[in-house]
Amino acid sequence: MNEAKFIEELKKININLTNNQIAQFQTYANFLLEYNQKTNLTAIKTMEEVYLKHFYDSLTLVKIADISNGNLLDIGTGAGFPGLVLAIAFPKLKVTLLDSNNKKIKFLEECLKILKLNNVNIVYQRAEDYAHQNREKYDFITSRAVAELRILLELGLPCLKVNGSFLIMKANVSKEEQESSIETLKILNSTIDNILELDLPHNEGHRTLIKIIKKVKTNNLYPRTYDKIKKKPLK
Ligand code: SAM
């Protein structure tokens, strides 16, 4: 997907970028590809793939939620997906990018200096630790390609406000993964509001977007330590 096609496809989902935002995406793409030559951040190596599989893909979230306003935490953001892309497209959204990998955090800090965004905050921490200090704080939590559903729910839901939305992005979610998360959702007092299956333009890949709504404040017991979450996911 080249830049012109990116702009055109975004119009179809009601995102109309300004010239400044288009320039910010160019800066982000160039910096990512250049940085990626010396430090491995992403398997994606071409400009066309960056626009399709990172930028456009991140913005498909608008199909399941209005994320133009409020505050958002992106867990396991990596090189900024979807969080940094959302911050460029929605300047009124306050975005916190969280990752436990120092290499990714260094990239994000450098990238932010050149993008000159004032709605982004970067946190170098493990999600399970951050969650204990930042409870019920966010309108939205996002997470793309980070962990199995049951694990993600325990990591993310404590940080979400009651009635807030946890927006999970994955390539595929198996029936077993979905079914095994039902009990986890009950324990964490949350429900699935929407599951959207979609294909990227030109059949460039299948995607699953899951929207979860939190109904009641999360018990302070959660999240447990990561080894406990991993060894015995909530069910
Ligand atoms: N979301 C990005 C994307 O889609 O391109 C990155 C996905 S990458 C496969 C997973 C990221 O999650 C890594 O950067 C990793 O460091 C981060 N991660 C995994 N578990 C984490 C945790 N418990 N706390 C914070 N970050 C975590």
pLDDT digit string, tens, across residues 56-84? 999 999 999 999 999 999 999 999 999 99
Q: Using the Cα atoms of residue 52, residue 57, residue 60 and residue 66 in order, give the sign of their dihedral.
A: negative
Query: Ligand 1 centre and the CA of 15: distance in Å?
Result: 26
Contact (Cβ atoms closer than 8 angstroms) between residue 122 and residue 97: yes
Alpha-carbon distances, residue 182 vs 30, 38, 216 (angstroms)? 42, 42, 16
Q: Using the Cα atoms of residue 166, residue 172, residue 177 and residue 178 in order, give the sign of their dihedral.
A: positive
CA distance 6 to 148: 30
Banded model confidence at residue 203, pLDDT cuts 50, 70, 90? confident
Q: How large is the average pLDDT for residues 37-51? A: 93
Burial of 126 (0-12, 13-18, 19+ CB in 10 A): middle
208 lines ligand 1 (CB under 6 A): no
Dihedral angle, C-alpha 85, 90, 94, 95, nearest 10 ° = -10
Residue 228: the pLDDT is 95
Residue 216: the pLDDT is 96
Domain limits, the chain = 63-231
Contact (Cβ atoms closer than 8 angstroms) between residue 80 and residue 111: yes
Banded model confidence at residue 202, pLDDT cuts 50, 70, 90? confident
Query: Ligand 1 centre and the CA of 81: distance in Å?
Result: 10
CA distance 53 to 44: 8
DSSP string, 158-176: GGEEEEEEEEEEES---HH
pLDDT digit string, tens, across residues 126-171? 999 999 999 999 999 999 999 999 999 999 999 999 999 999 999 9
76 lines ligand 1 (CB under 6 A): yes
Residue 235: the pLDDT is 77
| Average pLDDT for the chain | 96
CA distance 34 to 44: 12
With CA atoms as reference, report the closest residue to 93 among 162, 21, 198, 2: 21
59 lines ligand 1 (CB under 6 A): no
Q: How large is the average pLDDT for residues 103-118? A: 97
Report the percent of the chain where pLDDT is more than 70.
100
Residue 106: the pLDDT is 98
Query: What global pTM score does this model have?
Result: 0.97
Residue the block writes with tokens 């995102």:
15
99 lines ligand 1 (CB under 6 A): yes
Fold of the domain spanning 63-231: Rossmann fold (3.40.50)
Banded model confidence at residue 220, pLDDT cuts 50, 70, 90? very high
Query: Ligand 1 centre and the CA of 167: distance in Å?
Result: 15
Residues 6+ apart with CB under 8 A from 211: 64, 65, 165, 166, 167, 168, 192, 193, 194, 195, 196
Alpha-carbon distances, residue 171 vs 58, 139, 191, 204, 222 (angstroms)? 12, 24, 21, 11, 27
Flag whether pLDDT at 55 surpasses 90: yes
Helix, strand or coil for residue 35?
A: helix
